[in-house]
Structure 1
Amino acid sequence: MESFERIYLDLSKQPGKCRIAETGLGWKPSGGGDTFTLDANNIQAAQWSRAAKGYELKILSRNAGVIQLDGFEQEDFDRTVKVFKLFYGINLENKEHALRGWNWGKADFGKSELSFNVQNRPAFEVPYTEITNTNLAGKNEVAVEFSLPANGSETGTNGHLGGARGKGRKAGAGKDQLVEMRFYIPGTVTKKEENEDGEEKSGDEDEVEEHNAANLFYDTLMDKAEIGEVAGDTFATFLEVLHLTPRGRFDVDMYENSFRLRGKTYDYKIQYDHIKKFMLLPKPDDMHTLITIGLDPPLRQGQTRYPFLVMQFKREEEVIIELNMTDELLEGKYKGKLLPRYESPQHSVVAQIFRGLAGKKVVTPSKDFVSHHQQSGVKCSIKANEGHLFCLDKSFMFVPKPAQYIPLDNISVLVMSRVGGAVSASRTFDIAVIMKDGQEHQFSNINREEQKPLEEFFAVKNLKVRNEMLDDSSALIQAALNDADINSSEDEIVAPKADRGSADEDSESADEDFQSGSDSDVAEEFDSAHESSGSGSDEDMADASDGDANGVSDNERAVEPKKKKAKTNK
C-alpha cells in the first residue's frame, strides 16, 4: 500500500489522504466525511499531468467516469508508476498539456470526457458527467452548458449520487464557475468519415452523404453525455406551445422529476425542484391565458438569464389527453393529485398536471381587484416594453418582458404621479413602487380609468400610497383648456394637438394589432414587438398625415392667416 497526504479529490475544498492498494483506491477527507473508494477492477486507465495544486492523477474508470486526484508532488511520480504497474497492470501515462494558448484545435471524443487538443496535446478536458445540456447556437456553432450544483457544499465527495459522479458536484468547489462554452465548427464531413468503424463500408459515391460538422459534433455530444436520455417515459406531451419568454414555440414533455422544453434551436431540461412560483394569469384581452413559472436557478440562453417562463394559451382551445402512467403509480404516488384523463381547456390541463407532478400551488389573481374593464390585470409599460400588471394576493406580477415579481411585504411606498404634457397627463398616470431596500420599479402609461380600482386594492392590502396627482389635477386640466388662448405662437398651438393625435394612434391601433397577432407563430411575435418599437410607424404616420391634411390642420390653417393678417395690420 502507498499513502499520499494532502490530496484533493475532484476539486474538493478539503484535502484528504489517498491510499493505493492492490484491491483498489481510497480517499478520506482530513476534516472527516464520507470516504470515496474505487475497486481495482473498475480502473481502466490512468494519466499523470500538471494541475492546479501540483500534479494530478487522473483515473478513467469503467463505469464511474473520470476521477481526479490533485495535489501530488513531482517526486511522487515514480512511486505511483510502480504501484499502478504492480497492482493493476496499467502503464501510468505522463501527459503534457498544450500551453500555447490557442483557441483553435481538434475535439476528441473519448469514452469519459471531451478533449480539446492543440498540436496533438490536450489543452483542456471536459468530463461528460459535468455537461447538462448542449444546443445548436448557429449553423456552425455548438453551445455546451455545464451543470450547476445545488449548493456549494456538494462537491462530489460527500456521498451524493454515488460519490464523485454526481452531475455538477465538482463545480461546487470554487467561488467562480464556468457555466457555458461555445465551439465554432466550420465545414462538412462525409458519411464515410462518420462511420469509419461501422459495419457497412460502401464505395458507391451515391451513398456518400455530407453532413454539417457542427451537427455531427452536436449529435455525438448528445449521445456521449446522455443528454437526450431522461429516466422513464413521458407522462404527458404538449406540442408547439407558444412561449413569450423565452420567445419561441417549444414542445413540453413532462416526466416524473423534470420537464423538458424542445425547440428547433434550444433544448432545456428543468427539474421540478427549480420551480419556485407557478401563476395562472388570464390576459385582459378575453382571448388568452398566461402560465408564468418562476425558476431558481433561472433558465440560461447564452448570456441571457430567464428567471420566469411565460407560456401563452388560447382560452377556448380544448385538449383531450390521457396520462402515460400505470394505474399503480397513479393510485399510489399521485392519488388525489392527477387524473388518468383530461378534457378541458389546454391552459387548465397544463396547470393541473404541473401542480400534480411538481407539487406547487397555482397562484391566481386576487379577487380584491377588478379593473375598470372587469379584468384582473391592467395595461402598462416598463420603459419601452408594453405588458400587463397583475394584482395577486401577496404580490404584483408584470409580464411578459421583462417579467417582474414584486412581493407586497417588501414595498415601502407607492407613488402615483403624472408624467408628460398637460393633455396626455390627464389620460394616463404612472406608479413608482419603492421597495424597502431602496430599489424602485416604474410602471408607466396606465389608463386614468384604472386609478380608482388600483387605489381600492392598495387600501385593502394596507399599502402606503403617496398621490402626487391631487394637487395639480385641476390646474393641469384648466391649463389644457386655456392653452390656445394663452399662447400666441402658432408652434405652441400645433404641438399639443400633434402630440395628442400620435398618442391616440399609439394607445389604440398598436394594442389592437398586438392582440390580433398574439395567437400566431414566433414570426408574428417579432412583428408585434417590432410594431411597439415603431414598425407600424409608416401606417401611423400615414394616418397622422391624413388627419393633419383633412382634420386638425385645416382648422389650424383657417386660424393662422387671421393671426398673420392681424399682426400685419398692427
Structure 2
Amino acid sequence: MNEKVNQFDDIYLGLAPELGLLRLAQSGLGWKARKGDGLFTVRDADLKRTTWLRAARNFQLRIQLRDGRIVKFDGFQRDDFEKLRDIIKANYGLQLETKEMSVKGWNWGETDFSNGNLVFSVQNKDMFEIPLNEVINTSLTAKHEVMIELGTADSEGKEKNRKGDQLVEMRFYVPGSKAQDGEGEEESNANVFYNLIKNEADIGDAGPGEGIVLFSDILCLTPRGRYDIDMFPTFLRLRGKATDYKIAYTSIIKLFLLPKPDDLHVLFVIGLDPPLRQGQTRYPFLVFQFVREEEIDVNLNLDDETIRTKYDGKLEKRYESRTYEIVSTLFKALTGRRVTIPSEFFKSYHNQSAIKCSMKANEGVLYPLDKSFLFIPKPPTFIPHSEIGSVTFSRVGGGAASASRTFDLKFNMKSGVDYSFSSINREEYANLNEFLQNKKIKTKSMEDESTGRYVEMVGESDSDEDTGKRKRKSTIQDYGGDDDEGESSPDEDFVADDSESDVAEEFDENVSDSGSGSGGSDDDDEEDQRPAKKSKK
C-alpha cells in the first residue's frame, strides 16, 4: 500500500541558496534540490520537536532531531501553517509549536549559545541567531568591543557554496566587568564573551597535540605587529596581542621568498584569497620579515608514517637551519603552492634583486620577478606581466631631467588602472629597462612632462622592420591615471619556473648576475622648433 506524500515547493534547506521540493510522508521527510544532486532525508523516528517561526525568507520550519541537530526549512508562506501542522501531527504525532520573534528593532539585548547558534534576544524574544559553524574568526577590537567574522570556508578549509550578498562581520559592544574567582583583578565582560565565542565556535586552540609546529614572535610588516604562527594540518593560527586569526591553507594562493636589499633581512610574503580583514581594512598579502642569519632548531609533531604517506616525504622530522628557510619549506609542503624567488634575469645596479622606490607616500621596494612585479611592504601591490599594457619612464631624458638623481615609473595596465612609482635611483634605469625589453614589455620614455610628449621604444618582438634596434616615434599623450589596485591574476602568473628545486636550495646565493644592459634611452635627437625672438626696436 502506497503511503500518502505531501509536497511543498520552493523550499530552502538551511542557508543553501538553491530552491527545492520538501516531501513529507509517514516514514519521514526528504528535501531535493531542483537543480543538481542535493538530497537530504530524515526518518520519522529521528524527529523530536518541530517549531514554526518568522525568518528572513518568509516562514521557517525548524526541526530538532534526537541527536541534538537542528534542521531548518525556509520559504513557507503564512497560509501553509495549518496544512503543515495537520501533516506533522498525523504523520509523526508531534505538535507544531509557534515561536514569536522580536521585531522591536532594538540593538541591545542578551546573548545565549544554544544548539550550535549564537542567539541574540530582546525581552526574552529571539531577534536573530548566528550559526557558530559560520564563524571563522573573532577578536577584541577594543576594551568593550568584540568582532566576529563570518566566512565561506568550513573547518577543513573547503569553500561553501554561496551566492549573492553575505554577512561577513558583526561587532558586539559588551560593557562592564567582573572580578575573577579568587583574584582581585577584574576581567571585562567583553573578554568573557570573546572566550565563549572561541570555545563555542571551535576557533580556539585545536586539541592537544594536534599542532605541527609553532613559530613564536614573528615580525609582520603588513599588518604591522608580532605574531605567533601555529601551523596545523589544514590551517594555521595567527595570534597577536589583540587578534586571533584562523587561515585555511586553501585560501593561500601565493608565496614569495625575497631578500631585502639591505642584505640583513629576508621577506616572506603570503597572498590570500579571501583577504585577511581587520575592521574595514583588507589585507590580501601578509609580509613577514626574518633576520637573514637567524637559525632555529624545531621538531615537527608528525610521525614518520604520516610524513611518508600524507606529505610524500616533502617534510622532515627535524629541522636545523635558517628560520626563513624552515618557514618557507613548511608553507610550501602544507599549502601545495610553489614559492616564488627572485628572477635570475634581473640585478640592480648594486647587485640586488629589488630597487628602492616609493608608491605615493609609502617607501618600499619593487621586485621585478619572472612573471610579475611585486611592491612591498605597504601597500603590497602585485602586477602580473600579462596584464601590463606598457611601462612609462619619466625624467630620464635630456634637458632639466638629466640633472635629476631619480626617475619615475608608471605601469599602464590593460584594464586601465595605473600604478606609479617614484624616487627610483637613476642608476637603476639601464638594468630595469633591459629587463622590461627582455620580457617583451612595451616601454615609453617621457620627453617633456609639461606637454606630455614621450618617445615610445618597442622591443624586438614588436618591430617587423628593425632587428635588434628600437623603433622610436613621437606622440602626444596625457600623463595621468589613478592608483587603484587591480585584481590579482591566477596562480599561473606568479609561480616560479618548473625547474625550481627545494626552497632552501633555490635561495642559495649562487644566482648568476645579469649584466647591466645598454637599454637606457639616449637624449632626444630632435628639439622642438621655436620661432626666433623679434629684436627690440
Give yes or no for TM over 0.5.
Answer: yes
* SS class of match (1:468): strand
Could you tell me how far apart the structure 1 residues matched to 2:160 and 2:14 are? Answer: 9
In structure 1, C-alpha distance between the alignment counterparts of 2:34 and 2:348, rounded to whole Å: 63
Q: Does 1:124 align with 2:100?
A: no
Shift of 1:453: 1.6
Matched-pair contact (CA < 8 Å) for 2:70–2:115: no
Match of 1:16 in 2: 20
Q: Does 1:445 align with 2:423?
A: yes
Q: Which letter does structure 2 place at the counterpart of 1:183? A: F
Question: Is the Cα contact below 8 Å between 1:65 and 1:129 reproduced in 2?
Answer: no
In 2: Cα distance, 1:425 partner to 1:20 partner: 84
Q: Does 1:228 align with 2:235?
A: no
| Unmatched segments (≥5 aa) in structure 1 | 151-159, 193-205, 473-570
SS of residue in 2 equivalent to 1:381: strand
Report what 1:36 is aligned to: 40
Q: Does 2:165 match 1:176? A: yes
Change (3 A) 1:189 1:275: same
Q: Where does residue 409 of structure 1 map in the other structure?
A: 386
**Post-superposition shift, 1:444?**
0.4
The residue matched to 1:363 in structure 2 has which SS? coil
Partner of 2:374: 397
Residue 253 of structure 1 aligns with an amino acid whose one-letter code is D
Residue 271 of structure 1 pairs with residue 248 of structure 2: yes
* CA apart distance, 1:221: 1.3
Q: Which amino acid aligns with 1:118?
A: V
1:72 alignment partner in structure 2: 76
Report if aligned partners of 1:112, 1:128 keep a CA contact under 8 Å in 2. yes
SS in 2 for 1:137: strand
Give the strand-richer structure, 1 or 2. 2
Q: Which amino acid aligns with 1:10?
A: G
- Give CA-to-partner distance per residue, 1:400-431, whole Å, 9 cap, x none: 01001111122111111129x95896111100
Report the equivalent of 1:554: none
Q: Return the letter of the residue paired with 1:46.
A: T
Determine whether 1:141 maps to 2:118. Answer: no
How much has 1:366 moved relative to structure 2?
0.6
- The aligned residue for residue 411 of structure 2 is 433
TM-score, normalized by length of structure 2? 0.76
1:214 aligns with 2:190: yes
CA contact (8 A) 2:395 2:401 kept: no
Q: Tell me if structure 2 keeps the 8 A contact 1:134–1:218.
A: yes
Give the deviation of 1:114 after TM superposition.
1.1
Percent of residue pairs bearing the same amino acid type: 48
Residues 191, 211 of structure 1: 8 Å contact kept = yes
**1:38-70 residue CA offsets vs partner (Å, 9 max, x unmatched):** 344544543211224432112244557432211
Deviations 1:334-363 (A, max 9, x none): 234112211111001101111111111111
Comparing 96-105 with 26-35, which one deviates more in the overlay? 26-35
Give the TM-score normalised by the residue count of structure 1.
0.72
Partner of 1:217: helix, strand, or coil? helix
- The answer to whether structure 1 residue 188 and structure 2 residue 151 are counterparts is no
User: Does the 8 Å CA contact 2:68/2:115 hold for their aligned counterparts?
Assistant: no
Question: Is the 8 Å Cα contact of residues 65 and 127 (structure 1) preserved in structure 2?
Answer: no
- The count of corresponding residues between Structure 1 and Structure 2 is 443
* Contact kept in structure 2, 1:418 and 1:425, CA below 8 Å: no
One-letter identity of the residue aligned with 1:219: N
Cα distance between partner residues in 1 of 2:138 and 2:93:
37
Contact kept, 8 Å, 2:411 with 2:420, in 1: the verdict is yes
Judged with a 3 Å threshold, the aligned counterparts in structure 2 of structure 1 residues 335 and 28 are, in CA distance, closer, same or farther, namely: closer
CA distance in 2, matches of 1:208, 1:168: 46
The residue that corresponds to 2:274 in the other structure is 297
Q: Which runs of 4+ in 1 moved over 6 A?
A: none
Q: Distance in 1 between matches of 2:66 and 2:198?
A: 20
Larger mean CA deviation between 96-105 and 310-319 belongs to: 96-105
Q: Distance in 1 between matches of 2:138 and 2:95?
A: 34
- Over 3 Å counting, the alpha-carbon distance change for 1:60 and 1:241 in structure 2 is farther
Q: 1:355 aligns with which of 316, 320, 332?
A: 332
Aligned to 1:243: 220
> What's the RMSD between the two structures over aligned residues?
2.8
The alpha carbon displacement at 1:113 in A equals 1.0
Counterpart residue type for residue 174 of structure 2: I
Partner of 2:110: 106
Contact 1:288–1:312 (Cα < 8 Å) also in 2: yes
Judging by fraction of residues, say which structure has more helix.
Answer: 1
User: How far apart are residue 143 of structure 1 and its match?
Assistant: 0.5
Q: Which residue of 2 aligns with 1:566?
A: none
Sort the Cα spacing of 1:190 and 1:78 in 2 relative to 1 into closer, same or farther, 3 A. farther
Which of 1 and 2 has greater Rg?
A: 1
